[in-house]
Structure 1
Amino acid sequence: MKCVGVWRYLSGFLLFAGSALCDAQPLIIPATQSTITVDGSIDDPGWQDARVIQLNYVTRPFENTAPPVATEVRVVENGEMLFVRFIADDPNPDAISAFYRDRDGIWNDDMVGIKLDTFNDSRLAYQFFINPLGIQADSIENEMTGSESDSWDAIWQSAGQITEQGFVVEVAIPLRILNFKEGEEHKVWGAEFVRFYPRNERLRISNTPHDRNNACTLCQLSEVSGFKGASQSQNLALIPTLVLGRGRSRDPYESLDWQDDTVFEPGLDLKWAITPEVSLQGTLNPDFSQVEADVAQLSINNTFALYFDEKRPFFLDNADYFDTNQTLIYTRNIASPNYGAKATGRMGDHTLGVFVADDESTTFLVPGNLGSDIAVLEESSTNLGLRYRYDVNDDVSLGAAFTARESDNYHNYVAGFDTKVQLTDQDVLRVQWVGSNTQYPLGLYQDFCTDGGCDSSDQWSEAALRLDHEDDFNGQSYRVNYRHEERNWHFRAAHYHQDQDYRADLGFVSGVDRNQTVIGGGYVWLSDDNWWNAIEVFGDWDVTYNDAGDMLEKETEVYLSMSGKWQSYMEVGLLQRERSGLRHDPSITQVKGNTQWFAEQMASTYIEFRPVAEVQASVYARLGDQIDFENDRLGEQVYINPEISWSIGRHLQLDVRHTYSALDADGQDVFTANLTDARMTYQFDQRQFLRLVLVYADIERNPDNYLEPVDRRYRSLGTQLLYSYKVNPLTKFFVGYADSAFQDDQITAMTNTDKSVFMKISYAWLQ
């Protein structure tokens, strides 16, 4: 174990003191033959055999201080299950924050949790969290990418209850759901036991201290030993699925008559642990549509494509195996496959992930240096993604990635290599090189010219220019990232190069012909005994050129932030940016002498706080200069984005997000846009909920202040009602209704365009 201090046994407990680096002996997890039932009680005889651990350190926002509450953890295993029990004392149980939520929706509650690095190599850790009502959240922490993803869902047991002294949580984690080395008689894993205690501050309480001068968090887990009889079964799951639906749609510009459509789609999913280290997933005739609507985003006055998170289970499972220094795999590009297969695994120092799926059509980004667009080919395609990593030692990892998309008249092949080097505890270097080969269908570029053709220079667009290739072409990208991070300050420097012919069509790469250099850093003041916890000054400077050496953008930004009481965070910032507007002659890619240079200055603020357990609120606001891209001039923008989450009792939750954006130019209004995303959820228990989603957009433009004709008013309304029942992450049932409507200058009343009812059911047979 890499730790700070000295472990000592005192009165039967494992305690910690001192401040020197050490290599402590692993904490032995006993085995038991006694019965433990996960029901939230504390009287099962098996708990008498357990190891007792105390959570003695507040690691965030304070620095290894004594916690205000006691937390006892008992840990024991029986060869098949790891059992963990938390007794969390609280002097005021009425203040406990615990609500019924859907799985992975408890991150703001009181929680207890377990982190397990089953290979003890500080690369990945399984995370299991539980709120006082027994609601689960699980995730994967990836030290290589610095990310945590709750897309991983495992089947495990938990139960909790609030008591007069605090709360009790019991957990049973099947060892077969974890990847580990089977051959070792006594296995040594990295582990941490955690409690989150949200009151005036959100305290993170741990069994082990955290060294803020060490940027590697998984390197600081304590070690546990045991699991002599642990083995992994084939962990086979067969999951038949059935999707039923009926919908109707129409184009009100053409006709008000409805076109009906009926859906009957049986399918089959398979999950199989081929070996203890390698798993296989397959799907036949899947319904890869999303059950729940995306969080709405405002796209007005934006030249680059929007990013939406993946929500479909097949692509989410083990998605961290495919992470690299840039997004080479963005599975939202795969819209409607008939099959999919995925294999992932870790074997010693080797980590591998590979997937293949077809698609009934082919959608990809057309990237540029001043904007991006989306192309859709009515051709089926085959899609392949592969990621391999070799851990040379604790400090050096080498990786490779390959993606392919191929249809009748199109292909995109991408191959790359990368490395991460942990130079010191504070210094990390990441380097990646990627090459691509692409063939576009002849004439595809003409779909992106305006007014029906590319006959004159003013009919072209950047997307048309980037698509205008008669033969296949090659491109490359490279990235170099360096970061230094310690207790009170951090520094980063990076250079990103993506040449004009680079494409990564299975990924999300919206910019090419761009070469950016970034230098940034910050300083943090920390306090354990003031009304504030941390004050930070940070910022960066960056400059971007195209391949011809023309400057595209130069930006300087600086921020001041503070965190403190009421779980609050406040940030104010100033930004100064110079950048190119639209091309005067859109038929050439030249920037210098072909665009106007604009100077933007803006101020921003962000505030979030939680005054009571039931209410969490935030607001982001920005005021200042903003390019009016549709008219290629400088305007003044007001942008406000408030959000509120209100828990009405333990079962009902209301989430409202609103975006307001207004732009003025030349002394007149250009547009005023409002977007509201409201979601009301009644969570009956940990398995079932009923959710109503309303998404309303209202955009008003001033046609007198536009160079080209525009609609004066556009409104839209999307509605969804969804009921969900989940026995576990694989066995679940959904039924819902959705519709959408819009209004503009031609359709003068809100008119429905789509209506649908649907049902989706899946059942898992587990072996």
Structure 2
Amino acid sequence: MRQRGKWPLLQALAALAAMNGAVAEAAGVAAQSNELERNTSPIRNFAEFIPCVQAVRIAHEDAPIIDGDLSDPIWRRATPIEEFYQVEPVEGRAPSQPTRAYILFDDRNLYVGIYNYDDQPDQIRRSQMKRDPQLSDDDAVRIYLDTFGSFRDAYFFGVNPNGARSDALIENNGSFQDQWNTIWRAKTKVVEDGWIAEFAIPFQSISFDPALEEWNFQILRTIRRNNEEIRWSNIDRSRRRIDMTNPGRLAGVRDVESGIGLEVQAYVTGSAAYDWETDNTDYDLKPSGNAFYKITPSLTGSLTVNTDFSDTGLDARQVNTGRFSLFFPETRDFFLQDAQVFEFGGRVFQDQVNGLPFFSRNIGIVSGAPVDLIAGAKLSGKLGPANVGVISTHTGASEVAGTDGQFLSAARLSVPVLSESKLGAIFTHGDPTGADNSAVAGADFQFKRSNVFGNGTLYSDSAYIQSFTGGESDHMIAHETAYRSQTWNTTLRFRDIGEDYAPELGFSNRTGIRRYNANGFRAFRPENSFIRYAEIGGWSNYISDRHGERLDQYFGAFAGGNNNPGDALWFNYEHGFVNIQEPFLIAGEVPVATGDYRWNQYEVELSATNARAVGGGVEVRWGGIYDGDYLSIENRLSVRPNRFIELAAEYEYIDFDMPSGQIGIHIASLDSVIAFTPDMTIKTEVQYDNISQAFTFFSRFSWEPIPEREVFLSFGHTALIDRVDFPRDFRSQGSSLALRLGHTFRM
């Protein structure tokens, strides 16, 4: 039912407007903030502003100690970076606090030192200690490395004043894959005039093009109490902070070592599983491992054997209230490594995944049930000017899913064209269920042009995909053109999916349709106001069958914005029409008959920034649905009493009251984090919904004594709770305990 075509756009814009604090960087030798020259008037035109810094080479034996202290004499050899500008709240204005950064490298590591001056050190926000924190809720500093000159993809490394590290892959200037982790070091220290961050990023932890004279590079700091964002480059608030369209340049990084280019991750997992219904206990001792070999500095070969996914968290609980299957994103580390190489279609699949030709979650998971990944090989990186991604795996048989072992493969190739665009192809082979002999072939063109109609950006992405499954062949065509600026914005989309289109290694939940989307909105950024950002706009979504008969049609309007701290208020209206051609059951229980249905729905969303000790929000949606009434209430609460403890609770109630029946759906989750240090945490997830009646508890202890070593302990419990007798009727199903020890060897 949730066909709200505007939502991904709204979420991205709200996230941009609510940019929360992170602290910028500067190494240094006790330079005082009043020594830094700062302008007070905004600088408006940054279209051609491309700063460049020369990294200074040092001997490995002279490398700085990574301890959050920039007093090491070696930092004096680096050229200081001092020219930073606000993006929020006033684009182009000098920051409220100065920042100084330094770049060094030796044959093994890139070193970044950042001195984040602050004349109110007691006001520095540092509420989190866990790995991969929500940096937007704290003061923080981030660095971005585009080591292939793509202007679309990048490595991300960030840290808050507690030393809590975050790393991620940025794909196509839009996708932020923070499930990705690699080996690197960072230490921080709060001092009397601010705070200091030191980074050491091994060249073995990233891939790069050794022929590049300059890497694309960005430094970004946020000061949370002002909701202030400071950048070294890309001084354009119409572009998200993960956008690498107009980055600075890092020059001089060359002739570096990656050893022999071999990395081996060795694990051994001991586990026990108890079945409460049969009173059986199974024990298992499972060795596993991954190997990565840099064939060249920019091309990596990977091998996984008996892959262990015991550290993967729970999927967000969802209940299907509509006609089409749900999408669950990939969360497993092996498939997230170099995931940006397999990105296809650009903006076409950014928030509409129907028709996706390759979805790695189909490897090792069949019909929602996990199957063993016996072995897998992957090739990813750059071969000449081309980006290359190839993966081939062998999965085991599954009694639960009723499948035999399968060989599953995918390949992706793309090359840069024009100045900011790329052209590519994708191929897949295999069916996870083994039911058919399946293959997919596709091509895409991703066009981008900056500085159009002033400082706006024009995007135009297209994709064509052909599937070959069980003797049937069919296609999908998709296109999006979008214009983004600080004022006027618009998007046009088209999608044509054949009836027999079936990408068995991809994701498709509705075929035989043509879909047309459009939206437009006007953004406002009033100065000297309590409102930081506001927008008003409209959208439409029209779906027909491939003969032109109307199936669904939605249109609506929205308005809202954010205040200076980052709190938000949004109003939305939707008019819907659907032509139900096959009856279905809402949540598997309440029938919806064939026929035409029309309705109006309204929504109010109020959220308080999680940068406070207590944050959260409420979203209420109400109106008609299928000749009945609809009500949805979603509540979110976040509590951080100190930097060691974090609690997050979500509760959603959805009510359908229709002539054919009534159902109330309850979905609840509770997450907690206890972080003893940035490298030692206990994460616990609890979930329940009254439709599946499934209760799930999963707790994970993780400790990295050193970046190369891991101790992981997990405990899980599943049960059924009868929704009529909740919470009294608690019937345990299974419990599991696993201990995994791991070490990474680099040669």
Measure the CA separation in 1 of the matches of 2:238 and 2:688.
47
| Residue 386 of structure 2 corresponds to residue 353 of structure 1 | no
Match of 1:76, SS? strand
Query: Aligned residue for 2:88?
Result: 60
Q: Deviations over 1:111-153 (max 9, x none)?
A: 112122223341322221111122211122233x632222332
Distance 1:248 1:45, change over 3 A: same
| Residue 695 of structure 2 corresponds to residue 717 of structure 1 | yes
Distance 1:761 1:348, change over 3 A: same
Distance 1:17 1:474, change over 3 A: same
Deviation at 1:615, TM superposition (A): 2.4
Query: Aligned residue for 2:223?
Result: 197
Q: How does 1:298-337 map to 2 (within 5 A)?
A: 298-299=319-320, 301-325=321-345, 326=349, 327-334=356-363, 335=365, 336=371, 337=373
| Residue 419 of structure 2 corresponds to residue 383 of structure 1 | no
Runs of at least 5 residues in structure 2 that lack an aligned partner in the other structure: 1-34, 350-355, 366-370, 452-456, 586-592
Query: Aligned residue for 1:510?
Result: 509
Measure the CA separation in 2 of the matches of 1:551 and 1:286.
47
Measure the CA separation in 2 of the matches of 1:606 and 1:584.
32
Of 295, 319, 322, 2:316 maps to 295
Measure the CA separation in 1 of the matches of 2:208 and 2:722.
58
Query: Aligned residue for 1:435?
Result: 466
Query: Aligned residue for 2:249?
Result: 223
Distance 1:362 1:483, change over 3 A: farther
Deviation at 1:486, TM superposition (A): 1.6
Query: Aligned residue for 2:263?
Result: 237
Of 64, 70, 87, 1:42 maps to 70
Q: Is the 8 A contact 1:31 1:49 kept in 2?
A: no
Distance 1:332 1:728, change over 3 A: farther
Measure the CA separation in 1 of the matches of 2:37 and 2:201.
24
Amino acid at match of 1:763: H
Distance 1:183 1:233, change over 3 A: farther
Deviation at 1:386, TM superposition (A): 0.9
Match of 1:678, SS? strand
| Residue 609 of structure 2 corresponds to residue 645 of structure 1 | no
Measure the CA separation in 1 of the matches of 2:163 and 2:575.
48
Amino acid at match of 2:468: N
Amino acid at match of 2:701: Y
Deviation at 1:13, TM superposition (A): 8.4
With the length of structure 1 as denominator, give the TM-score of the two structures: 0.83
Q: Is the 8 A contact 1:199 1:567 kept in 2?
A: no
Amino acid at match of 2:383: M
| Residue 244 of structure 2 corresponds to residue 246 of structure 1 | no
Q: How does 1:382-461 map to 2 (within 5 A)?
A: 382-406=407-431, 409-423=435-449, 425=451, 426-439=457-470
Stretch moving more, 539-548 or 174-183: 174-183
| Residue 741 of structure 2 corresponds to residue 764 of structure 1 | no
Q: Deviations over 1:411-460 (max 9, x none)?
A: 22111011012255321111110001112xxxxxxxxxxxxxxxxxxxxx
Distance 1:409 1:212, change over 3 A: closer
Q: Deviations over 1:494-536 (max 9, x none)?
A: 1101111001121121111111011111111112321011110
- Structure 1 or 2, whichever has the larger Rg, is 1
Runs of at least 5 residues in structure 1 that lack an aligned partner in the other structure: 1-10, 251-255, 364-374, 440-471, 587-593, 628-633, 700-713
Match of 1:41, SS? coil
Measure the CA separation in 2 of the matches of 1:217 and 1:473.
40
Query: Aligned residue for 2:179?
Result: 151
Distance 1:737 1:529, change over 3 A: same
Distance 1:26 1:648, change over 3 A: closer
Distance 1:608 1:348, change over 3 A: farther
Query: Aligned residue for 1:28?
Result: 54
Of 92, 116, 131, 1:88 maps to 116
Q: Is the 8 A contact 1:106 1:135 kept in 2?
A: no
Query: Aligned residue for 1:608?
Result: 607
Query: Aligned residue for 2:304?
Result: 283
Match of 1:332, SS? helix
Q: Deviations over 1:144-196 (max 9, x none)?
A: x6322223322111100112222111112223433333246xx3222221101
Distance 1:314 1:97, change over 3 A: same
Of 677, 697, 718, 1:685 maps to 677
The percentage of aligned residue pairs carrying the same residue is 20
Q: Is the 8 A contact 1:234 1:276 kept in 2?
A: no
| Residue 718 of structure 2 corresponds to residue 740 of structure 1 | yes
Q: Is the 8 A contact 2:114 2:197 kept in 1?
A: yes
With the length of structure 2 as denominator, give the TM-score of the two structures: 0.85
Amino acid at match of 1:482: T
Query: Aligned residue for 1:125?
Result: 154
Distance 1:660 1:405, change over 3 A: same
Measure the CA separation in 1 of the matches of 2:566 and 2:83.
21
Query: Aligned residue for 2:374?
Result: 338
Deviation at 1:546, TM superposition (A): 1.3
Distance 1:715 1:728, change over 3 A: same
Query: Aligned residue for 1:5?
Result: none
Q: Is the 8 A contact 1:647 1:653 kept in 2?
A: yes
Measure the CA separation in 2 of the matches of 1:408 and 1:111.
48
Q: Is the 8 A contact 1:619 1:640 kept in 2?
A: yes
Stretch moving more, 476-485 or 505-514: 505-514
Stretch moving more, 69-78 or 522-531: 69-78
Query: Aligned residue for 1:695?
Result: 687
Q: How does 1:646-661 map to 2 (within 5 A)?
A: 646-661=639-654
Measure the CA separation in 1 of the matches of 2:126 and 2:58.
31
Distance 1:165 1:424, change over 3 A: closer
Q: How does 1:480-491 map to 2 (within 5 A)?
A: 480-491=479-490
Which structure is richer in relative contact order (CA contacts within 8 A, separation 6 or more)?
2
Amino acid at match of 1:263: D
Measure the CA separation in 2 of the matches of 1:88 and 1:696.
43
Of 182, 185, 191, 1:163 maps to 191
Q: Is the 8 A contact 1:715 1:750 kept in 2?
A: no
Of 111, 121, 141, 1:112 maps to 141
Q: Is the 8 A contact 1:559 1:571 kept in 2?
A: yes
Q: Is the 8 A contact 1:651 1:683 kept in 2?
A: yes
Query: Aligned residue for 2:26?
Result: none
Cα RMSD, aligned residues only: 2.9
Distance 1:413 1:362, change over 3 A: farther
Distance 1:612 1:431, change over 3 A: closer
Of 750, 755, 765, 2:730 maps to 750
Distance 1:211 1:755, change over 3 A: closer
Q: Is the 8 A contact 1:62 1:527 kept in 2?
A: no
Amino acid at match of 1:742: L
Measure the CA separation in 2 of the matches of 1:611 and 1:724.
25
Deviation at 1:377, TM superposition (A): 4.5
Amino acid at match of 2:214: V
Match of 2:296, SS? coil
Q: Is the 8 A contact 2:127 2:643 kept in 1?
A: yes
Stretch moving more, 341-350 or 286-295: 286-295
Deviation at 1:289, TM superposition (A): 4.7
Measure the CA separation in 1 of the matches of 2:336 and 2:66.
28
Q: Is the 8 A contact 1:249 1:754 kept in 2?
A: yes
Query: Aligned residue for 1:523?
Result: 522
Measure the CA separation in 1 of the matches of 2:450 and 2:64.
44
Deviation at 1:582, TM superposition (A): 5.1
Distance 1:542 1:113, change over 3 A: same
Q: Is the 8 A contact 1:14 1:53 kept in 2?
A: no
Query: Aligned residue for 1:253?
Result: none
